[in-house]
Each structure stands twice: as structure tokens, then as C-alpha cells.
Amino acid sequence: MAKPAPLIGSSSIFLDAVERASAAAPLNRPVLVIGERGTGKELIAERLHRLSPRWGGPLVSLNCAALPENLIDAELFGYEAGAFTGAQRARAGRFEDADGGTLFLDEIATLSPAAQERLLRVVEYGELTRIGSNRAIAVDVRLVGATNEDLPALVDRGRFRADLLDRLSFEVVTLPPLRERAEDIEVLASHFARRMAAELGWSGFPGFTAKATACLNEHPWPGNVRELKNVVERSLYRWGDAETPVGRIIVDPFESPWRPTALPAISAAPTRQSVDPRGETAALPAPTLHSVSDFRAAVQAYEREILIAALERCRHNQRRTAAALALSYDQLRHAMKRHELLTAEPNA
């Protein structure tokens, strides 16, 4: 059996979630794991399996969002030969594969209403019927579902069955996002860095500089632990020096002064928006309403407000600001000079 992946962290909110999963593991009941992408939902499912009496049985995983709706039933419940075009021979589904063990259904909120109904029957009665068959098959499976959605809210909107949610939510483990686990960031970064240093053939990990550590701590980590792992590994690979502490963190691998800008969206009504170089849409500041008797002066004042707002949003990185405003670097510099904004240049 493969060695389980470690759950790393010492923050109280993270340890509380792990403890809740550990307490539920021995019980033969369904568990829901809730959390943003990259928070470690699959690791919690693995822990639930390995600490349960089913640890010697199979742990089978399925990402429900990875399959089109017309294939989910076949993948979960199996089918008989001739059940549909292309079904040349019978095939067991994931429930049968997981018999005696645990089935982990990631992105469970994406299941269609029909799949939810069939899933409810399996959870309720412990039996399923393959597509194209009338024979019920008994299965002994412990179900763990995971999602980053608010399932009770989906029930209220009619997108998830209330009776299925009642059956699945014997225990709910909610994982905190990494931004709420500030004390774990450096620990996790060091763990991933040591593993990457070994993969690169370095004699050891030389550490991070204070500047790099500050960058790690200040980033909001929307992709959570998965994003942190990618960032750390990328940063070591690009640093390429096994003897000197890593001094630069590469958060955005697409960052480049030659990065193509996004095309503006076509809209029937004009909008005051600019495109952030990371693909986000940023609203421009509303014009300050002074006297408009001098139209030219009013336009110039608004242009200056746009420049200042864009520079602040891009942390005064002028190449990124130029990209966000769909200007060339020279055009931005010319505009800044015209509005006397070149007196302080913290980051050109």
C-alpha cells in the first residue's frame, strides 16, 4: 500500500478539522468534506479511509466534474453489454470497484438530478442496478463526498436533493483556506522546497531570503496549498542556485513585459473598465465632478485619475500598468510625464 501523503500544519483551525475527520473515520457513515480548491479535500478522504476498519480495502476516487452528464451513471454504477452504443461488454462501475472500501466523490455538487437520485438509492439501501440490467447488486461502500460549494444553498435553489444531503451529511469536515492559516505558510513552503531541492539534485535547501518569505506570507493564496506547492517548486527551479537562499518568488508564471493583453469585450453599452494583466476586469474610477466649464481640463483631470488608480492597482509596475490600460510602455511613460507622475518611480 502506498505511503499516505502528509497533512502538514500546526494552526488550531487546521488541526481541529483533521481531528474531526479522525474522529469520524472509524464509523461506517458518509462524510462530506467542504473546502476551497487546493485545501486538501482528497487528503482528508484518504485519512478517513486509512483510519477506518476499511483501510485494507480499496480507496476509489472519481471527479464528478470531469465527466459529461451522460457518462456519470455508467462510470458510477456500471453497465451491461449492449446497454448503449459502444457498450460491447459489461463493465463494473466505481461503486463495485470500491466494494469493501471507500468511494471518494470529488465535486459531488455537479451531479445531475438523475445521478443524485440513483446515488441516494445506493447510499440508502446499499444496492445498485447497472445500466441495461434489472438485477440489483449489493455493495458495501463507505462514501466520502467533497465540494467547494454551499450544499444547503444549492438545496434551496433546487440544484441538490435535500434527502440526499441529509443522508450524506452525517459528518461535515470543513477545511480552512490557507489565508486563514498564516502560521502554516512557511512550514508548508519549507516542506515543498526541501522536496523540490531533492528532485533538482541539490545537496540541501538553502532557505528563503527575508524578502521571499515576506512575499509568501503576503500573498492571499486563492489556490491554497496546491497553489503554494506550485509556486515554491517553480521558484526553486527558476532560481537555479543550490547555494544561495531563494530570493525571488514566482507567483505568476505568465508575468512578462511581452505578455499579450486581453481583447476588450464587445458590449452594446460603453463601460469604464480596464483589463488587469492577470485577466481580471477592473473598474476605472468614476470622474470627480468639478466644474466642467473647461471641457479639456475636465478630461485631463479624469485621465490623471485613471493613471493614478491603475498604477496603484499594479503596485506601480509600469509595464504591468501599461498592459492593464492597453497602452505601450512608451505611451504610458509619455502620459505619466504629461501629468507629472514621473517624480517618484518605485518600480519601473
Q: Each residue of 43-70: pLDDT tens digit?
A: 999 999 999 999 999 999 999 999 888 7
Boundary (domain end) residue, out of 176, 205, 226: 176
* Pair 161, 235 in one domain: no
pLDDT at 331: 82
164 and 187, same structural domain? no
41 and 183 in a common domain = no
**Is the model's pLDDT at 102 over the cut of 90?**
yes
Cell of 126: 446499499
Asked if residue 46 is part of any domain, the answer here is yes
Q: What is the mean pLDDT of residues 325-332?
A: 82
Region 168-187 average pLDDT = 97
pLDDT at 196: 98
* Residues 189, 319 within the same domain: no
**All 3 cell numbers of residue 69?**
452528464
> Residues 113, 164: contact at Cβ < 8 Å?
no
pLDDT of 274 reads: 47
**Of the residues 239, 260, 290, which one is the last residue of a structural domain?**
239
Number of domains into which the chain is organized = 3
More confident: 246 or 307: 246
Both 229 and 282 in a single domain?
Answer: no
In this structure, the chain runs to a length of 348
User: Is 334 domain-assigned?
Assistant: yes
Structure confidence at residue 309 (pLDDT): 87
pLDDT of residue 280: 42
**Same domain membership, residue 333 and residue 279:** yes
The pLDDT value recorded for residue 345 is 53
Q: Taking residues 144-157, report their average pLDDT.
A: 97
Please tell me whether residues 37 and 170 are part of one structural domain: yes
Helix ranges (H only) for 78-112 are 94-97
Query: Which of 64-68, 81-85, 230-234, 270-274 is predicted with the least confidence, judged by mean pLDDT?
Result: 270-274
Same domain, 214 and 305: no
Asked whether residue 235 is domain-assigned, the answer is yes
Rounded Cα–Cα distance for residues 216 and 201 (Å)? 24
Tens of pLDDT, residue by residue over 276-306, are 444 444 455 665 555 555 667 777 788 888 8
Task: Judge whether 102 and 60 are in contact, CB under 8 Å.
Answer: yes
pLDDT digits (tens, 9 = 90+) for 26-47: 999 999 999 999 999 999 999 9
Q: Which domain holds residue 319?
A: 273-338
Residue 185 reports pLDDT greater than 80: yes
Question: Higher model confidence: residue 43 or residue 261?
Answer: 43
Q: What pLDDT is recorded for position 213? A: 97
The answer to whether residue 106 sits within a structural domain is yes
Bridge-based pairing state of the strands 31-34 and 136-138? unpaired
Return d(Cα 197, Cα 223) in angstroms, integer.
22
pLDDT at residue 270 is higher than 90: no
Whether residue 167 is contained in a domain is answered as: yes
Whether residue 22 is found in the same domain as residue 87: yes
**Mean of pLDDT over the chain:** 87
Assess contact for 108 and 64: CB atoms under 8 A: yes
Are residues 139 and 51 both part of a single domain?
yes
pLDDT of residue 288: 56
Write down the pLDDT at residue 225: 97
Higher per-residue pLDDT: 290 or 167:
167
pTM of the model: 0.73
Q: Is residue 105 part of a domain?
A: yes
More confident of the two residues 293 and 182: 182
**Does residue 108 sit within a domain?**
yes
- pLDDT score at 330: 76
> Does 258 reside within a domain?
no
pLDDT at 272: 47
**CATH number for the domain including 225?**
1.10.8.60
Same domain, 170 and 51: yes
170 and 191 both lie in a single domain = no
Is pLDDT of 244 > 80?
yes
Residue range 225-247: average pLDDT?
97
pLDDT digits (tens, 9 = 90+) for 187-208: 999 999 999 999 999 999 999 9
- In the chain, DSSP assigns E strands to 31-34, 59-63, 102-106, 127-129, 136-138, 142-147, 171-174, 273-275, 281-283
Residue 215 confidence class, pLDDT cut points 50, 70, 90: very high
More reliable by pLDDT, 294 or 242: 242
